[in-house]
Structure 1
Amino acid sequence: MTDVVIIGGGPGGYEAALVARQLGGQVTLVERRGLGGSAVLTDVVPSKTLIAAAEVMTRIRNAEEVGLRLGAGDQPLADAVTVDLGKVNARIRKLAEAQSADIAERLVGDEIRIINGTGRLDGPQRVIATTADGEEAITADIVLLATGAHPRELDTARPDGERIFTWTQIYDLDEVPEHLIIVGSGVTGAEFASAYQALGVQVTLVSSRHQVLPGQDDDAARVIQQVFEDSGMTVINGARAIAAERRGDGVVVRLADGREVVGSHCLMAVGAIPNTSGLGLEDAGIELSSSGHIVVDRVSRTTARGVYAAGDCTGVNALASVAAMQGRIAMWHSLGDSVAPLDLRTVSANVFTSPEIAVVGCSQADIDTGVVRGLSMMLPLRGNARAKMQALKDGFVKIFCLPTTGIIVGGVVVAPSASELIHPLSLAVRNKLTVDQLAETFTVYPSLTGSLAEAARRLHGHSSEQVITY
């Protein structure tokens, strides 16, 4: 029997525990907060539940475009709907707790030992678990570190959980903010900005870059920026926030150029820091990057024999799906099962703004800079019959393929439910399908997926010239 000890119960940790048990390991999992970790309790599940409420409001506001009104009068349907943020957030917390409980039940059912406490290494094959009852030393043949990350805080903008928040604290709000200032226009900042704007909050988004979502496809980010501004959101680009402080019943955010932004509340979304301190990593011979992340290879091995790592603490890709796969790969590799190294080229990711942005494989930047010699085809959704029926105006599909062979190597979808629409492209990238194979596959008419097939058809017959159609 192989003894496996996992520190951290997020997606990387609990998915690894299930695989290790399936392969016959004796598994102990140490988790200090609750099963599911930050992804379930304070990050992915809560934020996407908030966004689900915002999506309903967005559909209500768009109801008039398809001819729906309240009763027999002239009152727009949206004017009759109000947001009870206390109930929204109570539902968010309840769902997160239920999801955590479901995970715990699954692990216990698989006879995985769960220790409620913190863990640290005492050498590469020994874990010290600290609980309310004291310390316990556990000998391990295999150790997996899946300790996650926490919100980065500025010394000049300390969150107080009342007016200045991190994304882990904002679900304690009981009343809709009058004016929410969001600092940071990456994925987290943009998602919260989109959600709160849809819920009727006055939002100001402070971005240090030339436009929102600087790490995303440039065309997609441009669409989201335009949607934000058209919805009435104030977006301040090229502005670096240096401080946030309470002033009376409000908050003042100071920018590096001397300007001040005044609001009722502030959400700081300025990145995350890996939870790697105090784990005894250096003494165990585990290499850390300059950013404090655990260095791992493509099968999740650290530089210490028998010690693996997965998830946000590695800095490989801050996605729950990637964390889970890293954890599974670690167990498959360490316990002698067949395993393929992690391939980030096949990872699909989504930004849950309205509309959503979904991506897979190589990027437009890869094509433009010659990293990948390929072709690209972009097709706006405004010509799609289903999009017209649903009064959708913003969004597009984009496909990247190799010249001559037509093998699909990447794609971008900007649309409602892009997280669902990206799957055909993910299958194509993973299985090296060609644009002709995608184009010849039946799609439902009318459907948004029809635009994927149409974009693929337009790439048929091109051999070497880059193609971009708007």
Structure 2
Amino acid sequence: MAEYTYDLLVLGSGPAGEGAAMSAVKAGMRVAVVERREMVGGNCAHKGTIPSKSLRHAVKQVIRYNTHALFRTIGEPCWVSYPKVLKAANKVIPKQVEMLTTLYARNRVHMHIGEASFVEPNRVQVILDDGAKEFITAKNVLIATGSRPYRPENVNFTHPRIYDSDTILDMQHTPRTMIIYGAGVIGCEYASIFAGLGVKVDLINSRDQLLSFLDAEISDALSYHLRDGGVTVRHDEEYESVEMDGRSVTMHLRSGKTLRTDALLWCNGRAGNTDTLNLQAIGLEPNHRGQLTVSERYETDVAGVYAAGDVIGWPSLASASFDQGRACARGICGLTVRFVSDAPTGIYTLPEISSVGKTERELTEAKVPYEVGRAFFKNTARAQISGEDVGMLKLLFHFDTLEILGIHCFGAEAAEIIHIGQAIMSQPGEANSIKFFVKNTFNYPTMAEAYRIAALDGLNRVNRL
């Protein structure tokens, strides 16, 4: 029975765990990470962000080939199966694992591979693959175990035609039709991916609008383009029961509708990976979705035990998890902590979406006097050259001060473009102004030029050119 002692023990090697471990070890702490998989990277690298976004990119390339006139000199449009696209997408995972493995080793972060559970607040047991046990004592423990797809008990996920957002990455056939239950970020992303492969998709949304946290104009644009791509979006629907046989899956909705499909993809929420941690041994109780509550320093209710990343719930973004892990480690080192609450959204539908700041609805409800500046990608030279002319950039700014209040982008490279505006929004006082985009010269032709166009449009509306 092996015994180890560290300053910080991190449970999970995903983005939050990585951020915390690297920050703590740079501060001179003795750090270790426990990872249940044989390879590091967590759900982000193996089942979530990396494989799904790689899959999206591969599908985008297929669409590009099949729709661009230039490629007709090579051959006719072709159909590509889901397994072939998946195989191409999965090539990036080993690269991520190799990079992260080298990162941990180079920084002398000790790695323990096995299943962790608490014995005491500062003592953890790790069961290895061969059944052997290790015991680790640490002054501080960070729970960064991530999340997994939520599975209701009355849906049989062992059936070969029923998938969640993890197991869909193992599907070895291409269904002709698919029901995606749950129209959150993951559901919308997979709806656009499978529609791009020619699959007939029914997207079931339990609410009356897609991604209601988005600016309404962006949500409407997403709804239109999903439908234009062949997705049937069904709002205000909830499932009653699911039946299956060897050839199909049938979903009965509470509205009385019955839908039959080749495959069902369940994307209705996620649950924190806390059920195997023996949290009751330290008096810590997660909520019904396995998530933990933390302070603004990422402390749980148990002294010396912290949590960050998907396991604490919203915003459940890899980008935010990195920063939460780093912030937590800073707090443990006695430094100032930034509670991550302002991360931009990055939604990788086709086309993609990104936003930061307030929406029109929020500003209207708060009675803030604002105006709007828009740039439609179809009017930019770069979008016309690249052929990706769907979408727009939308700036919300204060009517009097011209302060930027919100930025919303729909279209090619939206998640990249957003950071230009984010940088200006974060500036203090008068430096945060829509006028920045007309006082500075942008490269031409670029997608970023949309900021200049949107700013000029907005300034024209308030007669401040």
Same fold (TM over 0.5): yes
Work out the CA distance in 1 between the residues paired with 2:270 and 2:264. Answer: 17
Partner amino acid for 1:428? Answer: I
Residue from 17, 26, 36 that aligns with 1:13:
17
| CA 166–226 in structure 1, closer or farther in 2 if over 3 Å, else same | same
Work out the CA distance in 1 between the residues paired with 2:41 and 2:159. Answer: 23
Question: 1:339, CA displacement in angstroms?
Answer: 3.1
The C-alpha deviation readout for 1:40-65, integer Å capped at 9, x for no partner, is 1001111001100111122223313x
Of 132-141 and 110-119, the range deviating more from structure 2: 132-141
* TM-score of the pair, normalised by structure 1: 0.90
2:434 — aligned with what?
A: 435
Matched, 1:59 2:57: no
1:4 — aligned with what?
A: 8
| CA 2–117 in structure 1, closer or farther in 2 if over 3 Å, else same | closer
Work out the CA distance in 2 between the residues paired with 1:151 and 1:180. Answer: 18
1:321 — aligned with what?
A: 319
Work out the CA distance in 2 between the residues paired with 1:210 and 1:88. Answer: 33
Identity, in percent, stands at: 27
2:404 — aligned with what?
A: 408
| TM alignment of 1:59-458, pairs within 5 A | 59-64=64-69, 68=70, 70-71=72-73, 79-132=76-129, 133-160=131-158, 162-286=160-284, 288-289=286-287, 291-336=289-334, 338-345=335-342, 347-370=343-366, 374-432=370-428, 433-458=432-457
Partner-residue secondary structure (3-state), 2:183:
coil
The answer (yes or no) to whether the contact 2:180–2:265 under 8 Å persists in 1 is yes
Question: 1:289, CA displacement in angstroms?
Answer: 4.6
The answer (yes or no) to whether the contact 1:166–1:269 under 8 Å persists in 2 is yes
Please, which runs of 5 or more residues in structure 2 have no aligned partner? Answer: none
The C-alpha deviation readout for 1:182-238, integer Å capped at 9, x for no partner, is 111111011011011112222221222223333322211111111121222222222
**Root mean square deviation, CA, Å:** 2.4
The answer (yes or no) to whether the contact 1:167–1:267 under 8 Å persists in 2 is yes
1:36 — aligned with what?
A: 41
The answer (yes or no) to whether the contact 2:124–2:137 under 8 Å persists in 1 is yes
Aligned residues: 455
Partner amino acid for 2:349? Answer: T
Partner amino acid for 2:72? Answer: L
Partner-residue secondary structure (3-state), 1:313:
helix
Partner amino acid for 1:416? Answer: A
Work out the CA distance in 2 between the residues paired with 1:280 and 1:461. Answer: 61
Question: 1:428, CA displacement in angstroms?
Answer: 1.4
The answer (yes or no) to whether the contact 1:211–1:221 under 8 Å persists in 2 is yes
The C-alpha deviation readout for 1:241-294, integer Å capped at 9, x for no partner, is 233332331111211112111111111100101122242434434464565421
The answer (yes or no) to whether the contact 2:374–2:455 under 8 Å persists in 1 is no
Partner amino acid for 1:106? Answer: L
Matched, 1:23 2:47: no
Please, which runs of 5 or more residues in structure 1 have no aligned partner? Answer: none
Partner-residue secondary structure (3-state), 2:312:
coil
Work out the CA distance in 1 between the residues paired with 2:367 and 2:316. Answer: 23
The answer (yes or no) to whether the contact 1:14–1:35 under 8 Å persists in 2 is no
| CA 231–448 in structure 1, closer or farther in 2 if over 3 Å, else same | same
Of 352-361 and 121-130, the range deviating more from structure 2: 121-130
Question: 1:135, CA displacement in angstroms?
Answer: 2.4
Of 397-406 and 191-200, the range deviating more from structure 2: 397-406
Work out the CA distance in 1 between the residues paired with 2:115 and 2:401. Answer: 52
| CA 344–251 in structure 1, closer or farther in 2 if over 3 Å, else same | same
Work out the CA distance in 2 between the residues paired with 1:284 and 1:403. Answer: 53
Question: 1:322, CA displacement in angstroms?
Answer: 0.8
The answer (yes or no) to whether the contact 1:400–1:410 under 8 Å persists in 2 is yes
Of 101-110 and 323-332, the range deviating more from structure 2: 101-110
Question: 1:393, CA displacement in angstroms?
Answer: 4.9
The C-alpha deviation readout for 1:120-172, integer Å capped at 9, x for no partner, is 22232222222234222211111111011111112232222621100111122
Work out the CA distance in 1 between the residues paired with 2:124 and 2:369. Answer: 48
The answer (yes or no) to whether the contact 1:239–1:256 under 8 Å persists in 2 is yes
Partner amino acid for 2:346? Answer: N
Of 417-426 and 86-95, the range deviating more from structure 2: 86-95
The answer (yes or no) to whether the contact 1:367–1:375 under 8 Å persists in 2 is no
